[in-house]
Amino acid sequence: MEQQESGGCGSADEHGACDCADPVKGVPAQDPAAEITHLAAKLMRLQSTMLVSSPGGRQHGARRAAVRSGFEVLRGFGVSLLHELREALTRDAFHYVYQPIVSVASGRVEGYEALIRWRRGSEIVTPDLFLPIAEETMLIAAIQQHLIQDLAAVYAKLESPAFLAINWAPSQLADPTAIAALIRRVQEMKLDPDRIVVEITERSALIDPRLTRAHFARLKEHGFRVALDDFGSGYCSFAFLARLPVDLLKIDGSLIRGAERCPRAAVVLRGVLAVAHELGHQVVAEGVESELQLAALRQLGCELAQGYFIGRPARELTASSG
């Protein structure tokens, strides 16, 4: 594909300098979350251009300097955002919203995925703007520990055997104290761990496969269920899946959408479902966006589904549709 020169950052001057070193250009002032996203996107575009351009010359040198400067600014905003997140934790500014997971066959709500939201003044900040910083710095563990009371209150409203699923960051999975804290708090709140599902993404599981297997096994020893999330979005092999002690396999929405458009992708989806079922895993189809997709999943024998077509995340639990 042709690479446009302006695709680097869109604003190089006659000397090849660009405005990547000016992260606040075009974004709201005093909004570090938005500034981080804005700057990161510009840096990625600039790096892509550098990969296909000549490594010599004054313009290339200016762009390389702009990338270095931009990443320095990005680190600075990361520190600013981290400080704001810590302040938010002391003000109870985080809460969960719950997205229903339903039976494909009956439409009955079988569980909910708990998703973190941050109320920042009068706005709700989307997770992609703050979760990477929170996960990288392990602040995510403190946020989730703080929200366990919220989880317990919602758990009390559930009809057995409906479950609650929480997302687990790679930094949490690698930290034995985080796992111990979760086990302890669930015991203190007298929650049934069999109705708590701990999710980790496929990409995160592959960071340290041996550690992933060990900590999944530890969670299961204490009665928790575990799920491999976003399956099909990375490079997880069936051999690795066979060694993972998971209960649920959550298929990435890209596979679901692809199967709707392409017969070959449908064959892949059918194969994933067959392998998962042979391994004894329940399958959750993520990102379901239409009745047509839901009907196809029903025909393929997929047990569970979630997505905006089924139900959007909300503070209050949705009523069963079954």
CA–CA separation, 200 and 124 (whole Å): 24
CA–CA separation, 10 and 4 (whole Å): 10
Average pLDDT over residues 158-176: 90
Average pLDDT over residues 30-38: 53
| pLDDT band (50, 70, 90) for residue 235 | confident
How does pLDDT run across 106-148, given as a tens digit for each residue? 999 999 999 999 999 889 987 888 888 888 778 898 999 889 9
Highest-scoring range by mean pLDDT, 57-61, 67-71, 168-172: 168-172
Average pLDDT over residues 266-281: 94
pTM equals 0.76
What residue type is 118 in one-letter code? W
Q: Residue length, the chain?
A: 322
Instruction: Give the mean pLDDT of the chain.
Output: 80
Q: Is 173 exposed, middle or buried (0-12, 13-18, 19+ CB in 10 A)?
A: buried
Identify whether the C-beta of residue 257 lies closer than 8 Å to the C-beta of residue 292. no
Measured CA to CA in angstroms, residue 242 lies from 47, 249, 284 at distances of 38, 11, 17
pLDDT of residue 175: 84
Map residue 119 onto helix, strand or coil: strand
Average pLDDT over residues 245-268: 91
